[in-house]
Chain A
Amino acid sequence: MTHKSIRIGGLTRVEGEGSLLVRARDGRVTDVELNIYEPPRFFEALLRGRDHTEPPDITARICGICPVAYQMSACQAIEAACGIEVTGPLRDLRLLLYYGEWIESHALHICLLHAPDFLGYDSGVAMAADHRHLVERGLTLKKAGNELVAALGGRAIHPVNVRVGGFYRAPARAELAPVAERLRRAREEALATVEWVAGFDFPDVEHDYRFLALHHPAEYAILSGTIAVSDGTGFAAADWPAHIVEEQVPHSTALHARLDGTAGYLVGALARYALNGRQLSPLARSAAEAAGLGPVCRNPFRSIVVRAVEILHACDEAIRIIEDYTEPQAPSIPAEPRPGVGHGVSEAPRGTLYHRYRIDGAGLIAEADIVPPTSQNQARIEMDLRHLVEPRLDLPEAELAALCERAVRNHDPCISCSAHFLHLHLDR
């Protein structure tokens, strides 16, 4: 009887803590445990008793990489509870802000965290020594995203200009012109990035994913829409609790989400592309085709290509919005509280992010519920690891452990930021 354990510990300093354990016996994987401790649980308690205007600013602090996602889902949930909807130029500005975050986040992940896996480096820093221009290109893209977020949000990280009902201040057309100019240059860099990552050597792996993502009839859904599932089903944001249920698992303080009673669905870039790829901008769509993605991509290692395509789409659409932008009459619309429950869903760079708030007549929050993408993907990541490891148990220890780390990073979970600093122990 042979035993094998791969233990990856000490996932720290990002959004909580995590570790990875894979156990095998007699050639079969018996346990896969991706263990993540999630700060958002504490935030939900922190929100209780706060004013209904506060969640966008408080929840933005959950993540330094995707604060806009938290702000957008929070705003829309509160607005739904108040019975209002932000439309027109204010919605366009929200979408624009969100594109900025997508560019920032995807550029960071692709160029500093994910590409080293394909080029054989331990970290983005090590990769930069040999591929300076590629990392510089990533930083250039990220800077364009930062400038867009700063132009609308007041600063590049943790924007301060977002409020329930809209913004504290709307930008003048002239203020956005230089941002558009930067984005036009970034679009060229994004196209080059798609071509670059499409040429990587990808492991020949495919999974039969059950995808979930927002869908919007008129756009590649990021900001709002209904929830679509790849089996053809779907539901409205307000029905989220009836379909998505979180449960505790013995090995983790983090919750695992189930979709209609089944664990292991996937949110994020692959899901968005599979469900909404036809709605990408023409330039992004043709780049995806040239990159060989096809209408659906089930190889998680190719998710880096999808993210690059999404950067291109974000640049393209952001430029279009700026060119068409008309200044709103007021930077926000009133959001008077009333007793009720509101649901908000948007597409964070890492996947679908759900917020629910129950507020009372005085506008105080009685209940808050936040379901982040990484929580939803945990079970699926464990399934990926199981399928990946079992036929490769004879690989050398270091190679197997590295493959596990790559499989985790494919999904860009919040813990991926620290994954390059893992301490690895392999016990037989």
Chain B
Amino acid sequence: MHAPIVIGIGNDFRGDDAAGLEAARLLRGMLPPEVPVIENEGDPAELIEAWTGVDLVIVIDTAISGAPPGAVVRHTVLGSSPAQGDAPQPPPTTIQYASSHALGVVDAVALGHALGRLPRELALYTIEGADFGLGAPMTPAVRHAVEETVATIADLVPQSSVRLRPS
């Protein structure tokens, strides 16, 4: 499989935790049709199922790391994701993910590793959240960050598709 897949993770009812889902919805209308865009509400088994055998996976999730609200960081969790914008950060080990469910992306990667079911490359975009209240709207800084991240990924994905196509 040569097209990357994009996964947005979040919870629509937990304020800024909706950022990943919102990014996925915006990207669905912008990316080439052969690029699957998946909304995931916190199920690690679904993540593993989605990325098994895939070359490049781009994941968008909300995080709490102490950075200012709306701060976007690109982490190269696996492989060497194509450069775009700021230099990639090392894989996160201490970020507290804002998922309201049991396991986060890091756990899904660990489980995928144990099962031998990882993609070749996994780039994780985290958007720093501020308000995770039940029923809260996304804060303006996070909403702005979602739009920025979407624009970055919309530029990145076609390049990745070309790069990953066998010569």
Chain A residues in the interface with B (C-beta under 8 A): 13-14, 39, 42-43, 46, 61, 64-65, 108, 112-113, 124-126, 128-129, 132, 135-136, 139, 142-143, 146, 156-158, 417-418
Contacts and interface: CB of A to CB of B under 8 A. Distances in A.
Contact of B115 (A43, A65, A135): A135
B116 A132 contact: yes
A128 B45 contact: no
Contacts of A143: 45, 49
A42 B111 contact: no
Contacts of A129: 114
B67 interface: no
A108 B102 CA distance: 11
Contacts of B134: 39, 42-43, 46
Nearest to B13: A61
A158 B41 contact: yes
Contacts of B49: 139, 143
Given A39-B134, A125-B107, A417 B115 contact: no
By secondary structure, the B interface counts as loop
B46 A156 contact: yes
B12 interface: yes
A13 B107 CA distance: 13
B76 interface: no
Given A13-B101, A64-B100, A143-B49, A135 B114 contact: yes
A286 to B, nearest CB: 29
Nearest to B102: A417
Contacts, number: 64
Contacts of B46: 146, 156-157
A112 B46 CA distance: 14
Given A39-B134, A125-B107, A125-B110, A136 B115 contact: yes
Contacts of B45: 108, 139, 142-143, 146
Interface residues of B, number: 24
B90 interface: no
Nearest to B101: A64
By secondary structure, the A interface counts as helix
A323 to B, nearest CB: 27
B135 interface: yes
Contact of B43 (A14, A136, A157, A418): A157
Nearest to B44: A112
B99 interface: yes
B119 to A, nearest CB: 16
Interface string B132-161: 001100000000000000000000000000
Contacts of B11: 61, 64
B77 interface: no
B158 to A, nearest CB: 27
Nearest to B98: A13
B42 interface: yes
Contact of B135 (A42, A126, A142, A156): A42
Contacts of B48: 139
A65 B42 CA distance: 9
Nearest to A143: B49
A395 B99 CA distance: 36
Contacts of A139: 45, 48-49, 115
A421 to B, nearest CB: 9
Contacts of B135: 42, 46
Contacts of A124: 111
A124 B101 CA distance: 15
Contacts of B110: 125
A64 B111 contact: no
A203 B46 CA distance: 33
Nearest to B110: A125
Contacts of B43: 64, 156-157
A64 B115 contact: no
A13 B102 contact: yes
A61 to B, nearest CB: 5
Contact of B12 (A14, A61, A135, A146): A61
15 contacts: A13-B101, A14-B100, A46-B134, A46-B135, A64-B41, A65-B101, A112-B111, A125-B111, A132-B115, A139-B48, A139-B115, A142-B45, A156-B46, A157-B41, A417-B103
A158 B43 CA distance: 11
Centre residue among A14, A39, A125 by max chain B CB count within 10 A: A125
A42 B13 CA distance: 11
A417 B107 CA distance: 12
